[in-house]
Amino acid sequence: MKSPLVSEVLFHIGPVAIGHQVAATWALMFVLSLLCYLATRRLKVEAPGRSQVLLEAFIEMVQSQIRDTMKCEPQTFLPLIATLFVFIFFANLSSLVPGFEAPTASIETDAALALIVFCSVIVQGLRSHGLLGYLRTFASPSWVMIPLNLLEQLTRTFSLMVRLFGNVMSGAFVIAVVLSLAGLFVPIPFMALDVLTGAIQAYIFTVLAMVFIGAAVHEDS
């Protein structure tokens, strides 16, 4: 059985090898971009369509979650948080498509998502406190805590990556095993459970991202 840590190379762009998870991510990004374009190209102030109502309800839900979790206005953080949730949610569900492997079942994709959160924490911390002010937060409550605070930044990023990878990969693995042993229709309950698990994992990842970024924004220097 192929190791989940090894990605199959599909083709090369010059000297760069493009693996299955990269191609799957590009395909998913294209599909989501197309859907977003189709959903937003004819927005109406009066008598909005069904897709616009659903989209507005989703945006309002994300804005409310940002206010409750980060204790700040959502405009600055809405694009990042909403994009993270939508991408991870649909990436998790893409394993239900025959012949398609979920990008989030690959450690490289999850590492990239965790790195985005890590960089966002630093950027928002710098925006809120300035360079010296942000650096002083690592010495809170005492300069003795500097190594531990730096280590915390790295370990929580690592935990984001491992949590998402472990849950998505294990779910896809269970469905593949049951499908190979029991045929097409028996795994349907497992697929329904995988949909729920995918939504929960996307929610957990984005909430933790909000917690980490919010802490960097509000942390006293």
Total domain count for the chain?
1
Q: Flag whether 2 is in a domain.
A: no
Q: Flag whether 3 is in a domain.
A: no
> In the predicted model, is pLDDT for residue 1 greater than 50?
no
Mean pLDDT rounded to a whole number for the chain: 82
Domain with 163 in it? 9-218
Q: Output the CA–CA distances (angstroms, integers) from residue 18 to 10, 23, 25, 61, in the order listed.
A: 6, 7, 11, 36
pLDDT band at 140 (very low <50, low <70, confident <90, very high): confident
Q: Flag whether 4 is in a domain.
A: no
pLDDT digits 0-9 by tens, 70-116 = 888 888 899 999 999 999 999 988 877 777 778 888 888 899 999 99
DSSP calls for 92-149: HHGGGSTT---GGGSHHHHHHHHHHHHHHHHHHHHHHHHHHHHHHHTT-S-GGGHHHH
* Cβ-based neighbours of 23, under 8 Å, separated by 6 or more: 10, 11
Task: Extract the tokens encoding 186.
Answer: 């028996």
pLDDT of residue 135: 84
Q: Flag whether 138 is in a domain.
A: yes
pLDDT band at 178 (very low <50, low <70, confident <90, very high): low
Q: Flag whether 160 is in a domain.
A: yes
pLDDT of residue 181: 63
Q: Flag whether 1 is in a domain.
A: no
Q: Flag whether 127 is in a domain.
A: yes
Other Cβ atoms less than 10 A from the Cβ of 97: the count is: 10
pLDDT digits 0-9 by tens, 50-77 = 888 888 899 999 999 999 998 888 888 9
